[in-house]
């Protein structure tokens, strides 16, 4: 893991080129690589997911109102979430690649061209952070996991939002600035073993067309010399990631437009050390310096502490706490109590823990950096642990309930057609026993802690080469504390409740 | 760097949006209007449920159900099929069969596998034809 990899070493060629050639490249794998290099591969992946989404929406509105019997609730809250984290862990951001929300907007853009650029004041993660927190809040408040109809509304709303945003605003505005699932995937994919990157930086140094970001248009020129309305032959990166200066997976949707656009066949899906990019400082294409991005820091905090909050909300003590608050305040409705818990978990707790760690680090190494600067620098070291918590939580639901989709689908077909075309529902099919999944959950958390400590150490060594341990110790303490909290949550009895009993 | 997205298409955009808007609005109304009605049920039998221990906890629990019609008379089905599910999707359901121990009174064990909110789907064959189906909520099964 290298902490101080310069931001644009890909221009330098030399050993980097040899390194790139030696690394495993998914695009060079016989069948899979050939498929991914095909320009229609993304659409080919999106179409079945879109069709599945249509089935889910139909089942949400016209199927059974019982979540365990409904494909919308089951696939959204068990398989989709579990699938995302496992694919991120073992491969990369392939969900964004197969994202069904992009397909309708893609087709619509053939007839309607977006008119505006995304507002300058909103070119940050602010809207996505609000939506991220909003989804977490409404998930708890409205018991979305138990409500197929509300889940269907969420899916339709998602399609509508992606469609409208990208029909009004140019480029991939929805993915980059709005989509909360996308932001989750961006941060999660920092832990992925694969990244879309250049094979030989030296080739980029000699490239003058920069098609990977500009794209390619049909030959010819308009009278004013601009690209004008010449048809696009191949899009460049719609998220403004310039491959030679791109670092890691942040903001990368794995759309592979850069792969198809590069005239030198110099972009691949290469293997790398998961989490390495979190230890890298400096400027990144289209993102800038993470150490200066307050919005990325807030997103990271929501990602990490939201993981704990989301898991905490599933266990018995949260209901005792809610009832205690209800008794103390006299409140008989849930949303203000939930709001209080959210403020506690996403604002107060991070402010105390991370602010305290930053203050101790600053004192320990007599740094001239502000508290905020230290906090921004170290906060990203918590991403591996946060991802470990999401993985443990969503992995639990997925692994213990993976096969439940089979009887639910069998039942849906039986009800829809009146015939058992998929066979009689096998309701006894579930998944792995909890006793088997629990050690896996602890393993995910342990790996997350290890990654967090490694990244934290690298950041500390960059901040204070002579007093690394002093700079690192407060963050190690916070990391272990969060790890212990997550372990405690996992050992608590599950109590998946949708009812709020006040008083 | 030139923007790879072509500049605005002709002014027909607004006309297209104008055509699209009623469709979107209509679609939204249709979706919002088609929420399944779960509040009521056509079944005219009352189910009274007892657990032993009460409140129920994770593990094997005794279940007694009394079915009465609108006149307060016992509903006799011979036996009652019970399917227990958690509110959260992704959990394997549990099944049990309750025998009619007295007219309209059914008893048997059920095993709750996790704490939280459950619901029971009761079903049975009415003598002389027809089916009895009812959903009963079991909130707050206690964890171990």
* pTM of the predicted structure, to 2 decimals: 0.87
In tens, the pLDDT along A220-249 reads: 655 454 555 677 789 999 999 999 999 999
Q: How far is B30 from chain A (nearest CA, A)?
A: 10
CA gap A320, A297 in Å, rounded: 32
Distance CA A128, CA A121 (A): 14
Could you tell me the sign of the dihedral formed by the alpha carbons of B122, B126, B129, B130, in that order? Answer: negative
Mean pLDDT across A378-382: 97
Q: Which residues, in sequence order, are bridge partners of residue B68? A: B46, B74
**Inter-chain touch A404–B115, beta carbons under 8 Å:** no
Mean pLDDT, range A99-109, rounded to an integer: 93
CA distance A404 to A407: 6
Give the span between the Cα atoms of A401 and A432, in whole angstroms: 7
C-beta separation of B86 from B118 below 8 A = yes
Q: How far apart are the C-alpha atoms of B19 and B21, rounded to whole Å?
A: 6
Are A74 and B9 a contacting pair at CB < 8 A?
Answer: no
User: What is the model's pLDDT at position A421?
Assistant: 93
Enter the tokens of residue A142. 């409205």
Pairing of strands A495-496, B115-125: parallel
Distance CA A253, CA A185 (A): 8
Instruction: Say whether B3 and A227 touch across the interface (CB within 8 A).
Output: yes
CA-CA-CA-CA dihedral for A44, A251, A379, A140, to nearest 10: -50
Q: Is A22 helix (H, G, I), strand (E, B) or coil?
A: helix
Is B93 an interface residue toward A (CB < 8 Å)? Answer: yes
Q: Which residue has the tokens 């909050």?
A: A309
Average pLDDT, chain B: 78
Residue ranges covered by each domain of chain B: 45-141
Cβ(A82)–Cβ(B93) below 8 Å: no
Q: How far apart are CA A278 and CA A453, in angstroms?
A: 12
- A431 interaction partners in chain B (CB closer than 8 Å): 90, 92
**pLDDT range class, residue B11, cuts 50, 70, 90:** very low
Query: How would you class B116 by CB atoms within 10 Å of its CB: exposed for 0-12, middle for 13-18, buried for 19 or more?
Result: buried
pLDDT, tens only, A150-192:
999 999 999 999 999 999 999 999 999 999 999 999 999 999 9
Query: Which pLDDT score, from 0 to 100, does residue B27 have?
Result: 60
- Architecture of the domain delimited by B45-141: Sandwich (2.60)
Tell me what pLDDT residue A138 has.
95
Task: Give me the pLDDT at residue B10, please.
Answer: 43
Residue B50 has phi, psi (to 5 degrees) of: -130, 140
Instruction: Tell me the per-residue pLDDT of A283-294, one tens digit each, with 9 for 90 and over.
Output: 999 999 999 999
Candidates B4, B31, B83; nearest CB to A156: B31
A71 touches chain B (CB under 8 A): no
Rounded CA-CA distance A249/A392 in Å is 22
Q: What is the CA radius of gyration of chain A?
A: 24
Is A501's Cβ below 8 Å from some Cβ in B? Answer: yes
Is some CB atom of chain B closer than 8 A to the CB atom of A66? yes
Q: Which of B4, B93, B115 sits opposite A493 (nearest CB)?
A: B115
Q: pLDDT by residue (tens digit) across A121-161?
A: 999 999 999 999 999 999 999 989 889 999 999 999 999 99
Of B13, B34, B115, Cβ closest to residue A112: B13
Q: Residue holding tokens 């939204």?
A: B28
| Average pLDDT over every residue of A390-404 | 95
Cα separation, A380 vs A376, whole angstroms = 7
pLDDT score for A315: 85
pLDDT, tens digit, 9 for 90 and up, residues A431-464: 998 889 999 999 999 999 999 999 999 999 999 9
Which of the residues A496, A500, A501, A502 would you substitute to probe the B interface, choosing the one with the greatest number of B C-beta atoms within 10 Å?
A496
Predicted-assembly ipTM surpassing the 0.90 threshold? no
pLDDT in tens, A26-60: 999 999 999 999 999 999 999 999 999 999 999 99
Q: So what's the pLDDT on residue A231?
A: 78
- State the smallest CA–CA distance between residue A429 and chain B in angstroms: 7
Omega cis (within 30) before A80: no
Judged by CB atoms within 8 Å, which residues 8-67 of B form the interface with A? 8-9, 13, 16-17, 24, 28, 31-32, 34-36, 38, 58
């Amino acid at each position: 893991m290298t902490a101080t990899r310069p931001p644009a070493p890909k221009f330098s060629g030399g050993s980097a080129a040899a390194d790139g050639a030696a690394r495993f490249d998914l695009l060079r794998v016989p069948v899979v690589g050939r498929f991914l290099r095909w320009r229609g591969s993304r659409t080919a992946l999106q179409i079945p997911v879109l069709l599945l989404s249509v089935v889910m929406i139909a089942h949400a509105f016209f199927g059974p109102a019982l979540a365990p019997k409904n494909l919308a609730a089951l696939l959204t809250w068990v398989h989709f979430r579990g699938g995302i984290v496992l694919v991120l862990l073992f491969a990369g951001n392939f969900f964004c690649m197969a994202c069904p929300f992009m397909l309708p907007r893609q087709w619509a853009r053939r007839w309607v061209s977006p008119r505006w650029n995304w507002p300058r004041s909103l070119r940050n993660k602010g809207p996505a952070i609000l939506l991220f927190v909003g989804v977490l809040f409404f998930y708890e408040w409205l018991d979305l996991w138990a409500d197929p109809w509300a889940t269907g509304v969420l899916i339709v709303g998602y399609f509508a939002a992606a469609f409208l945003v990208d029909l009004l605003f140019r480029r991939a505005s929805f993915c980059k600035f709005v989509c909360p699932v996308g932001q989750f995937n961006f941060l999660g994919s920092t832990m992925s073993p694969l990244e879309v990157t250049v094979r030989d930086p030296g080739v980029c140094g000699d490239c003058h067309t920069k098609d990977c970001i500009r794209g390619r248009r049909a030959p010819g020129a308009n009278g004013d010399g601009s690209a004008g309305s010449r048809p696009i032959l191949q899009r460049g990166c719609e998220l403004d990631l310039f491959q030679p200066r791109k670092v890691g997976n942040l903001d990368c949707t794995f759309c592979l437009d850069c792969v198809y656009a590069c005239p030198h066949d110099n972009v691949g899906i290469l293997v790398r050390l998961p989490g390495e990019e979190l230890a890298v400082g400096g400027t990144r294409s289209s993102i800038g310096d993470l150490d200066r991005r307050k919005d990325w820091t807030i997103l990271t905090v929501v990602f990490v502490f939201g993981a704990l909050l989301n898991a905490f909300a599933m266990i018995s003590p949260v209901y005792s706490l809610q009832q205690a608050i209800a008794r103390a305040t006299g409140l008989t409705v849930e949303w203000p109590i939930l709001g209080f818990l959210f403020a506690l978990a996403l604002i107060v707790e991070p402010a105390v823990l991370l602010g305290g760690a930053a203050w101790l680090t600053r004192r320990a190494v007599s740094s001239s950096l502000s508290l905020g600067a230290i906090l921004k620098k170290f906060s990203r070291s918590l991403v591996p642990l946060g991802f470990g918590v999401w993985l443990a939580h969503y992995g639990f639901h997925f692994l213990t309930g993976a096969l439940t989709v089979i009887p639910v689908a069998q039942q849906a077909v039986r009800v829809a057609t009146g015939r058992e075309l998929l066979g009689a529902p096998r309701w006894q099919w579930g998944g792995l026993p909890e006793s088997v999944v629990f050690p896996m959950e602890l393993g995910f958390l342990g790996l997350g802690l290890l990654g967090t400590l490694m990244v934290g150490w690298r950041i500390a060594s960059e901040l204070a080469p002579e007093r690394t341990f002093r700079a690192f110790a407060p963050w190690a303490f916070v990391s272990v504390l969060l790890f212990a909290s997550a372990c405690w949550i996992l050992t608590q009895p599950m109590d998946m409740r949708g009812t709020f009993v006040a008083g | 760097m030139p923007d790879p997205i072509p500049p605005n298409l002709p002014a027909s955009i607004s006309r297209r949006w104008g055509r699209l808007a009623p469709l979107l609005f209509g679609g939204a109304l249709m979706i919002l209007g088609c929420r399944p009605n779960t509040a009521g049920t056509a079944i005219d039998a009352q189910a009274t449920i007892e657990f032993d221990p009460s409140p129920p906890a994770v593990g094997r629990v005794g279940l007694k159900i009394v079915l009465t019609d609108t006149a307060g008379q016992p509903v006799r089905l011979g036996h009652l099929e019970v399917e227990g599910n958690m509110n959260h999707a992704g959990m394997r359901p549990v099944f049990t069969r309750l025998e009619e121990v007295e007219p309209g009174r059914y008893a048997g064990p059920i095993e709750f596998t996790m704490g939280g909110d459950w619901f029971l789907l009761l079903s049975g064959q009415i003598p002389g034809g027809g089916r009895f189906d009812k959903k009963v909520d079991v909130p707050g099964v206690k964890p171990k």
